[in-house]
Amino acid sequence: MLARVVEKWLPRIVVMPLFAVSLFFVYGFIAWTTWISFTRSVVMPDYGFDGLAQYERLWSTPRWYVALGNLAVFSILFIGLCIVVGILLAILLDQRIRIEGAIRTVYLYPMALSFIVTGTAWKWILNPGLGLEHLAHQWGWTDFHFGWLVDPQMAIYTVVIAGVWQSSGYVMALFLAGLRSVDDEVLRAAAIDGAGPIRTYTSIVLPMIRPVFFSAIIVLAHLAIKSYDLVVALTGGGPGYATDVPATFMYSFAFQRSELGTAAASAVMMLVTILAIIVPYLYSELREAGR
């Protein structure tokens, strides 16, 4: 009798503190931030309701649009390129080559670095006075120009380059696992039916590992939306604020400018963006699970 009660309640009791903590520290603070976004808070929180003034302010700030535009460019290119590069690497590695383990590790290693290290390293590589351009000039190719890092129009693409370098190895690992899970019988059947390697992958293997795409996109999307450290280390949001993203915008308004209200409004906008991606995904997942 007692054993049954314990069996019934013990898991709940064990989970309870964690549940309470995350309820408070995650959802409690989300609620607090949302509330602050409807107030006039400047240096310190001020709990008087002020309607949508902070949102009007946010949406009339040119810098916010720059941040949103950069987020769109970065997310689309980052997710797209990571997946393309990841799949290619995975397929190449899947050809039963020698020392696969070593190569896999090499590709996966960038993931072990933090975005700060990645950003700093690429900052030096891409700096016209120090890195690639300088090297090319020293080798005698003096016409070589690669100043994306210091060009406000192009700087956001350097963030994409560094991000893809960092994360595509991880995507490769995801896809490699997916490819390995495909039954050899299927591949053999395809070969007997006369499908070439390209046809085999595009029509049979990749559709079969569709769930891997979903996982990869979800992981990369949240990396993209919350990207902060990479931008800070690589460009510092510059030149000017040309590579600002919502996360750096929020940080700079909250902590450099004492504009807690506007910063909270931008944080809520980021949350809404993530929800817009996550909720449909969760919904479809849960519906499938329920079936």
Partner 1 sequence: MKTSKVFGRLLFSVALVGFVAGGGPSAFAGGTVEVLHWWTSGGEAKAVGELKKTFEAQGGTWIDSPIAGGGGDAAMTALRARVIAGNAPSAVQLKGPGIQEWAKLGVIESIDDVATKEKWDAVLPPVVAAVMKYQGKYVAAPVNIHRVNWMWANPAVLAKVGAKAPTTWAEFNETADKLKAAGITPLAHGGQPWQDATIFEVVVLGVGGADFYKKALVDMDQAALSGPTMVASFDQLRKLRGYVDKGFPGRDWNLSTAMVMNGQAGFQIMGDWAKGEFLAAGKKPGVDFLCVPPPGSGFLMNADSFTFFKDPKPGRAEGQKVLASEIMSPAFQRTFNLAKGSIPARIDVKLDDFDDCAKRSAADLAAATKAGSLLPSLAHEMAVPRTVRGEVLDVVTNFFNSDMSSKDAAAALAAAVKRAQ
Q: Which residues bind partner 1 (CB under 8 A)?
A: 42-45, 57, 60-63, 123, 127-129, 147, 149-150, 152, 155, 235-236, 238-242, 252-253, 255-259
- Other beta carbons within 10 angstroms of residue 136's beta carbon come to 15
At its nearest, how many Å lie between partner 1 and the CB of residue 155?
A: 8
Name which of 45 and 197 has its Cβ closer to partner 1. Answer: 45
Name which of 168 and 259 has its Cβ closer to partner 1. Answer: 259
Q: SS3 for 133?
A: helix
What gap in Å lies between CA 220 and CA 146, rounded to an integer?
27
Angle at which helices 260-290 and 29-36 cross, to 10°: 130
Q: Which residues contact 14 (CB under 8 A, 6 or more apart)?
A: none
At its nearest, how many Å lie between partner 1 and the CB of residue 106?
A: 30
Residue with tokens 């949406």: 59
Q: Give 131: exposed, middle or buried? Use CB within 10 Å, 0-12, 13-18, 19+.
A: middle
Name which of 81 and 254 has its Cβ closer to partner 1. Answer: 254
At its nearest, how many Å lie between partner 1 and the CB of residue 13?
A: 20
At its nearest, how many Å lie between partner 1 and the CB of residue 161?
A: 17
What gap in Å lies between CA 267 and CA 55, rounded to an integer?
11
At its nearest, how many Å lie between partner 1 and the CB of residue 66?
A: 8
Name which of 38 and 170 has its Cβ closer to partner 1. Answer: 38
Q: SS3 for 39?
A: strand
Name which of 63 and 104 has its Cβ closer to partner 1. Answer: 63
